[in-house]
Structure 1
Amino acid sequence: MTSSSSPSPLTPPTASRSRNMAAIKRRDTQPERAIRSLLHAAGKRYRVDVRMELGGVRPRPDIVFSRARVAVFVDGCFWHCCPEHGRHPRTNSSYWGPKLERNRTRDRAADEALAAAGWTVIRIWEHEAPQKAAERIMMVLNTVA
């Protein structure tokens, strides 16, 4: 292969982009930590980043309340296509368009698998105020308990 060959549509186009993507944290993001801190201060106990096996679908909620069967996802606006702040990049759109769509498809499959297994799913956008998000989670926990 020559250096002028184009990258595969399933891989980032350059080594520097690959390094950037590898540096993005999967867990313990600032919005996630802020919400967890508020929940902990309110006396709520939870598990973090739990991988679940649900009939071929393997969701990995950010915050899990096992006894109450509540799974919380704190979604980034870019990665999960927030209707308010999500945007489709103009550069390398042939890579990013399908990548972001796969993320959305995976999110819907996780929601459906968790709901079918009797779990309540809460999705929070990273731009939501942590206090409001924590209040919403506690409200759901109080109704399912």
Structure 2
Amino acid sequence: MPEAFPSSPGVSARMSRQASKDTAAELAVRRLLHAAGLRYRVEYPVPGMARRRIDVAFTSVKVAVLIDGCFWHGCPEHATHPKANAEWWRQKLDRNMARDRETTEHLQAQGWTVLRFWEHAPPEEVAATVRATVAGKRGTGTRGTAREAEDRHDDV
């Protein structure tokens, strides 16, 4: 990959402040899931893949929730393409998308259900999809049962 230099000190400072975890989108979804009584792991390591994390993991039912930032993960609606160091950025973002595909495929091969969402997705819709998926894996429906309450302790 060609060596790149920041186009300005301001750009460099701004990019270094970008959150890689606990983003506003992740926090909004996690609050809704927690309020619904679900318990989960945050920043859970992807089994068998160093330096990769699941944003929200329901380990007892193997459901991985990943909330991708539009810029960093190449959202078809909102991705932008920097003009400064354009080739370097194109390669960087292409590698991010390839890593996302590889992670999803790896998790699926390990028996995980992978749910990926864009950061711009309404948190209520994301949380509803996650709740339904987890409930379906637990065989409890969306209201929950005593068994689901017991299972929640697995993910605390």
TM-score, length-scaled by structure 2 = 0.80
Q: In the alignment, which residue of structure 2 is the partner of 1:99?
A: 92
| Cα offsets for 1:4-29 (capped at 9, x unmatched) | xxxx7355435724433221111110
CA distance in 2, matches of 1:11, 1:119: 37
Q: Point out the structure with the larger helix share.
A: 2
CA distance in 2, matches of 1:19, 1:90: 17
Distance 1:41 1:103, change over 3 A: same
Distance 1:14 1:58, change over 3 A: same
By how many angstroms is 1:120 displaced? 0.5
CA distance in 1, matches of 2:80, 2:71: 6
Task: Say if 2:120 is the partner of 1:130.
Answer: no
Q: In the alignment, which residue of structure 2 is the partner of 1:73?
A: 66
Q: In the alignment, which residue of structure 1 is the partner of 2:21?
A: 27
Contact 1:74 1:125 in 2 (8 A): yes
* Identical pairs, percent: 44
Contact 2:46 2:107 in 1 (8 A): no
Task: Say if 2:33 is the partner of 1:39.
Answer: yes
By how many angstroms is 1:95 displaced? 1.2
By how many angstroms is 1:108 displaced? 0.3
CA distance in 2, matches of 1:37, 1:10: 40
- Of the structure 1 ranges 95-104 and 11-20, higher mean CA displacement relative to structure 2 is found in 11-20
Contact 2:63 2:134 in 1 (8 A): yes
Distance 1:91 1:14, change over 3 A: closer
Paired residue for 1:52, among 46, 54, 66?
46
Contact 2:7 2:85 in 1 (8 A): no
RMSD: 1.8
Output the amino acid matched with 1:49. Answer: E
CA distance in 2, matches of 1:12, 1:119: 39
Paired residue for 2:101, among 87, 94, 108?
108
Contact 2:67 2:116 in 1 (8 A): yes
CA distance in 2, matches of 1:10, 1:27: 26
Please list every run of 5 or more consecutive structure 1 residues that lacks an aligned counterpart in the other structure.
1-7
CA distance in 1, matches of 2:91, 2:37: 41
Contact 1:72 1:123 in 2 (8 A): yes
By how many angstroms is 1:143 displaced? 1.4
